[in-house]
Amino acid sequence: MRGTKPHQQLKELSAEERPPVSRAAKQPEKLQRNNVSKKKRLVEDLVLDHVFGFRGFDCRNNLHYLNDGSDIVYHTAATAIVHSLSAGTQSFYLEHTDDILCLTVNQHPKYKNIIASGQIGDVGEIPGTNPSIHVWDAMSKQTLSVLRSSHAKGVGYVNFSATGKLLLSVGVEPEHTITVWRWQEGSRVCSKAGHPDRIFVVEFRPDSDSQFVSVGIKHVKFWTLAGGALMYKKGVVGSVEDGRMQTMLSVAFGANNLTFTGAINGDVYVWRHHFLLRLVAKAHTGPVFTMYTTLRDGLIVTGGKERPTKEGGAVKLWDQEMKRCRAFQLETGQQVECVRSVCRGKGKILVGTKDGEILEVGEKNAASNLLLDSHGRGGIWGLAAHPVKELCVTASDDATIRLWDLSDKKLLNKVCVGHAARCVSFSSDGEMLAVGMKNGEFLLLLANSLKIWTKKRDRSAGLQDIRFSPDRRLLAVGSVENTVDVYDMSGGPVLPRLVYCSDIPAFILQLDFSADSGYIQVSTGAYRRLVFEVPSGKLLSDQSAVDRITWATWTSILGDEVLGIWPRSADRADVICACVSHAGLNVVSGDDLGLVRLFDFPCSDKFAKHKRFLGHSPHVTNIRFSHDDQHVVSTGGDDCSVFVWKYVQVPP
| pLDDT, tens digit, 9 for 90 and up, residues 151-207 | 888 999 999 999 999 999 999 999 999 999 999 999 999 999 999 999 999 999 999
- Give CA–CA dist 468/450, Å, rounded: 17
**Within this chain, do residues 278 and 424 fall inside the same structural domain, yes or no?**
no
Residue pLDDT, tens place only, 556-568? 999 999 999 998 8
Peptide bond preceding 308 in cis form (omega within 30 of 0): no
What is the rounded average pLDDT of the residues 386-415? Answer: 96
User: Nearest-CA neighbor of 80 among 645, 646, 612, 641?
Assistant: 641
Same domain, yes or no: 429 and 524:
yes
Query: Where does the pLDDT of residue 419 fall: very low under 50, low under 70, confident under 90, or very high at 90 and above?
Result: very high
Model confidence at 346, pLDDT cuts 50, 70, 90, reads confident
**Whole-number pLDDT of residue 554:** 96
Of the pLDDT bands very low, low, confident and very high (cuts 50, 70, 90), residue 508 is very high
Q: Which residues face 523 on adjacent strands?
A: 510, 529
pTM of the model: 0.91
The answer as to whether 359 is a domain residue is no
Gap between the Cα atoms of 51 and 613, Å rounded: 14
Contact 622, 63 (CB under 8 A): no
Q: How many CA atoms lie within 13 A of 551 on its CB side?
A: 26
pLDDT at 309: 79
Question: 15 versus 380: which is more confidently predicted?
Answer: 380
Q: What is the DSSP letter of 565?
A: G
- My answer on whether 290 and 426 are in the same domain is no
Q: Do 291 and 394 belong together in one domain?
A: no
Mean pLDDT of the chain: 90
Looking at residue 638, its pLDDT comes to: 87
**pLDDT greater than 80 at residue 149:** no
Does residue 268 sit within a domain? yes
Percent of the chain with pLDDT over 70: 92
How far apart, in whole angstroms, are the C-alpha atoms of residue 159 and residue 173? 18
Residue 26, domain member (yes or no): no
Residue 26: what pLDDT?
A: 46
Q: Of the residues 254, 279, 298, which one is the last residue of a structural domain?
A: 298
Residue 549 is given by DSSP the state P
Task: Report pLDDT for 376.
Answer: 87
Per-residue pLDDT, 152: 84
292: alpha, beta or left, given left = phi > 0 and alpha = psi -120 to 50?
beta
pLDDT at residue 462, rounded to an integer:
95
Mean pLDDT across 411-437: 96
> Does residue 132 lie in a domain region?
yes
The dihedrals phi and psi of 7, each to the nearest 5 degrees, come to -75, -10
Band of the pLDDT at 494, cuts 50, 70, 90? Answer: very high
Least confident of 255-269, 328-342, 401-415: 328-342
Confidence (pLDDT) at 573: 61
Whether residue 391 lies inside any domain: the answer is: yes
Residue 151 backbone dihedrals phi, psi, to 5 degrees: -95, 120
Taking 70 as the threshold, does the pLDDT of residue 598 lie above it? yes
Task: Tell me the three state secondary structure of residue 8.
Answer: helix
How far is 650 from 73, CA to CA, in rounded Å? 30
**What pLDDT shows up at residue 31?**
54
Question: Does residue 142 share a domain with residue 289?
Answer: yes
Q: Does residue 566 lie within any of the structural domains?
A: yes
Cis peptide before 109 (omega within 30 of 0): no
Q: What is the distance between the alpha carbons of residues 462 and 609, in angstroms, rounded to a whole number? A: 35
pLDDT at 126: 56
Percent of the chain surpassing pLDDT 90: 78
CA distance to 197, 199, 287, 518, 632, per residue, from 248 (Å) = 12, 9, 9, 62, 43
At residue 21, φ and ψ (nearest 5 deg) are -65, -25
Per-residue pLDDT at 128 exceeds 80: no
**How many domains in the chain?**
2
- The order of strands in the sheet holding 325-328 is 288-293, 300-304, 315-318, 325-328
How far is it, in rounded angstroms, from Cα 648 to Cα 633? Answer: 14
- Which tens digit of pLDDT belongs to each residue from 207-244? 999 999 999 999 999 999 998 899 999 999 988 888 89
User: Half-sphere exposure of 455 toward its Cβ, with a 13 Å CA cutoff?
Assistant: 15
637 found inside a domain: yes
- CATH number for the domain spanning 81: value is 2.130.10.10
In whole angstroms, give the CA distance from residue 123 to residue 29: 49
Average pLDDT value for residue range 115-131: 75
Do 575 and 430 lie in one domain? The reply is yes
- Of the ranges 24-38, 329-343, 458-472, which is most confident? 458-472
Asked which of 298, 321, 356 is the last residue of a domain, the reply is 298
The H or E element that residue 616 is part of is none
DSSP state of 380: E
602 and 464 in a common domain: yes
CA distance 452 to 432: 10
Give the count of beta carbons closer than 10 Å to the beta carbon of residue 276: 21
Taking residues 290-296, report their average pLDDT: 89
**Least-confidence region, from 35-39, 103-107, 383-387:** 35-39
Q: How far apart are CA 605 and CA 613, in angstroms?
A: 21
Domain end (from 298, 327, 362):
298
pLDDT tens by residue, 19-74: 445 434 344 444 544 444 444 557 789 999 999 999 999 999 999 999 999 999 99
- Residue at 103: amino acid letter: L
Angle at 646 between CA 94 and CA 576, to 5 degrees: 70
Compute φ and ψ for 357, nearest 5 degrees.
-95, 150
Q: How confident is the model at residue 7 (pLDDT cuts 50, 70, 90)?
A: low
The verdict on 294 and 380 lying in the same domain is no
Range(s) of the domain holding residue 530: 6-10+41-48+376-650
- Does the residue 176 lie in any domain? yes
275 and 392 in a single domain? The answer is: no
Mean predicted confidence (pLDDT) in 303-307: 91
Q: What backbone torsions phi and psi does residue 184 show, to the nearest 5 degrees?
A: -70, -35
